[in-house]
Structure 1
Amino acid sequence: MSSRLLSRLDAEIAAAKHPLKADCLRAERAGFLARQGHLDEARQVLSSLHMQYAAHPHAVMSAWLSLGEGLLSHFSDLAPAAHDRMRRAYALSGAARDMKLHALAAAWLAHMDYTQYDFEAMVRHVGEALTLSSPTDHGTRSRASLVIAQAYHFGGRFDLAQPWYGQVRQHGNADGDEATLSALMHNMAWLHANHARQQVLTRAPGEAAVAPQVLMGAESTGNFDVLVGTASLDALVPILRAQILSLQGRPADALVLYEQHMSHAMVQGLARMQASLRADMACCRLQLGEPRRAMQDATAASQVVDQESDLDDRAAAHSRLARVFTELGEAEKAERHARRAAQDWTAHERDQTAVVTALDRLVASLPP
């Protein structure tokens, strides 16, 4: 499927009357290629532009290059280095007083703030993105709207997230930006799964069920990526499906996906979730009557659980390890993980409340 956004950028590059304008558009095009997962092509374009402007740098060009490199880094492996590149794009565009580019950098900075749970910075940057951009700045508005939608969704307020998801669709469709529409589906599917996990793991066994629509959302995301040619972070959807299948009580199906995609997912940025994923694999093996292998996975998970950066992932890891070690007769380990799970879930729920409160203040301050 051809991309309308890519076609528009190609036409604008061909029509550009100034070489600098054409090169800025090439950097923007490279950023879109990175978001689609065409990393080698994006890297080649950005490297060529860097060499071209090395002797005579231009602030706006440097800002576009930093933004493109930030996207390349983020969509390669979700690396923290992406945040630094985006901060540079934000600073350079502000210094050059290119407010349209500054707003776009602010929107992407807000996205990366969200991934690092820096909600104060996220709210500040997303507010700036919306204030500085116009309604026709579809790339900025779609990304900023997605940040607000997923943050409300993270906070357990899907009702407040839905209008913002609608804004993402509206601006993404207007821009012909299939990568943003893919991101919308990815993020919504992950958040639905995370809320289902929270319900299952914080209630007594059998009290919470996972709706079939949660798995359907993950499968639709994968199908859409195939349709539009998105190849970035392609191990994430199978890992998401594995987590949902496990929550639905299908451990054998979940393990097939974990074993096929786990190593690939680790290099695509999910190493930060290693403990929760290994703990889930341990639960699956225990349900399948494999106590020895369950103990191996549980031990591996317990060794890295303190490195888990996201509170909900760490809480999930501790919850599962408490259950596995209980079944395996390791009462002391089980009690320690149960205690840590309760602490982390409480802290996560505080974050959920705080982000909704901060977003409510932001939304109330925005012009109609």
Structure 2
Amino acid sequence: MRSRLLTRLDAAIAKARNPVEVACLKAERACFLARQGQMAQARLLVDALHTQFAWRPHAAVSAWLSLAEGLHDYYTRLGGSARDRVMRAHALSGAAHLAPLRALSAAWLAHMDMASHDMARMVQHVREALQGAQPDHHSARSRACLVVAYAYHFAGDENRALPWYARSRFHATADGDEAHLSALMHNQASLRGTQARLAAMFGEASPEATRQALLSSESITRFDAGIGTAALVSLVPMMQAQLLTHDQRWAEALALFELHFDTAMADGLERMKPCFLADRAWCRLQLGEPKPALADAEAAEASLRQPCDLDDRALAQARLAQVKEKLGQAREAALLRERARSDLQAHRSEQERLVALLDEALAEIAPASA
């Protein structure tokens, strides 16, 4: 299925006569291709534009190319260099008084701020994007609204998140941006899956919530296949592996972990490595493989020394406590449970602060303007 956004961009490129306008549209096309996972095509387009404007740089083209390169880096490996390039696009568009691109860059910076848990900067960039984008600037608004939805959802308040998901979906649909609709589905399913896993490990397990999250992940797989998305292909199968672990479908989960673990690391998912290894250890243990299970558990503990989100740390340590208990290491299990509960408490406090931060930042923005 060919994207309506891509069709519209191609038509605009064919119609444009000004070389700078054509170049900016082509850079926007490269942004879309990167988000869809068509990295080689995006790179070729960016390289051709760099060559074309090497001897006569133009501020608008340079700004759009910075954004395109940032998204290429981000969707290749969630790399830190992506943010630097998007910051350059943000700065260049501001200096050149390119308000639409400035708002779009701010929305993408908010997205990256959220991914790195820099909540203070995230709300600043969200507010800038929503206040700077015109009502029909769908690409900036769809991204900014998605960040707000994801942030509220991550903070445990899905009721506040749902209207923002709806606004994001409205703008993406108006823009014909199927790649964004895919991202929206990914975010919702991922957070619902995390909530189901947290409930299973620390509260009252809900097999129905786990199954619903699995169904959502299957819908994403079908949708992505239909629109030709090939970006960060390990995200969905690794999410499915974690959910299958909680659904006690050990063999299916282990098969997905083994098939996609290396790709997930290459895709930039190192922050989730403790969770992946801990769940894989539990699957191996349930399937009668104690030695490989112990090796995975030790690797998971070692990886906890690296940066890891609080909710993922809590989940990994809670799972490792189960593994240690089953292996007869009661003292180690008790220590891991204590650490898991402490991390969960810190995560809950972080959620409360995030809701307050979002409410304050968005108070001046009328819902209709989003």
Deviation of residue 208 (structure 1)? 4.2
What percentage of residue pairs aligned between the two structures are identical?
A: 50
Q: In structure 1, how many angstroms separate the alpha carbons of the residues matched to 2:179 and 2:353?
A: 30
- Partners of 1:208 and 1:130 in 2: CA distance: 37
How far the C-alpha of 1:54 sits from its partner, in A, is 2.3
Task: Give 1:209 deviation, angstroms.
Answer: 3.4
Indicate the residue corresponding to 1:192 in structure 2: 192
Specify the alignment match of 1:29 in structure 2.
29
> In structure 2, what residue type is equivalent to 1:53?
F
Matches within 5 A, 1:150-299: 150-203=150-203, 207-211=205-209, 212-299=211-298
The whole-number CA distance in structure 2 between the counterparts of 1:38 and 1:362 is 35
Does the residue aligned with 1:307 lie in a helix, a strand or coil? Answer: coil
Contact map agreement 1:306 1:314 (CA 8 A) in 2:
no
State the partner residue of 2:68. 68
Segment drifting more, 332-341 vs 58-67: 332-341
Query: How many angstroms apart in 2 are the aligned matches of 1:210 and 1:58?
Result: 55
Q: Structure 1 length normalisation: TM-score?
A: 0.97
Alpha-carbon distance in structure 1 between the residues aligned to 2:306 and 2:342: 16
Once the two structures are superposed, residues 116-175 of structure 1 have per-residue CA deviations (whole angstroms, 9 ceiling, x without a partner) of 001111100011000000110010110011001111110111111111111111111111
- Corresponding residue number in structure 2 for 1:139: 139
Aligned positions, number:
366
Q: Distance in 1 between matches of 2:297 and 2:19?
A: 58
Structure 2: distance between partners of 1:301 and 1:265: 15
After the TM superposition, which residues 69-148 of structure 1 pair with which residues of structure 2 at under 5 Å, given as runs?
A: 69-148=69-148
Q: Which residue of 2 aligns with 1:303?
A: 302
Cα distance in structure 2, aligned partners of 1:101 and 1:75: 19
- Unaligned 5+ segments in structure 1 are none
Secondary structure of the 1:125 match is helix
Q: Give the residue type in structure 2 aligned to 1:271.
A: E
Q: Is the 8 A contact 2:317 2:339 kept in 1?
A: yes
Q: Match of 2:324?
A: 325
Q: Is the 8 A contact 2:196 2:205 kept in 1?
A: no
Mapped partners of 1:30, 1:15: distance in 2: 18
Partner Cα distance (1:234, 1:158) in 2: 26
Consecutive unaligned residues of structure 2, counting only runs of 5 or more, are: none
Q: What secondary structure is seen at the aligned counterpart in 1 of 2:305?
A: helix
Q: Does 310-319 or 112-121 show the bigger shift?
A: 310-319
1:350 partner amino acid: S
Rounded Cα–Cα distance in structure 1 between residues aligned with 2:58 and 2:283 = 55
Using the alignment, how far apart are the partners of 1:184 and 1:347 within structure 2? 27
Kindly report the root-mean-square deviation, in angstroms, between the aligned alpha carbons of the 2 structures. Answer: 1.2
Change (3 A) 1:348 1:23: same
Instruction: Provide the C-alpha distance between the structure 2 equivalents of 1:19 and 1:103, rounded to a whole number of angstroms.
Output: 23
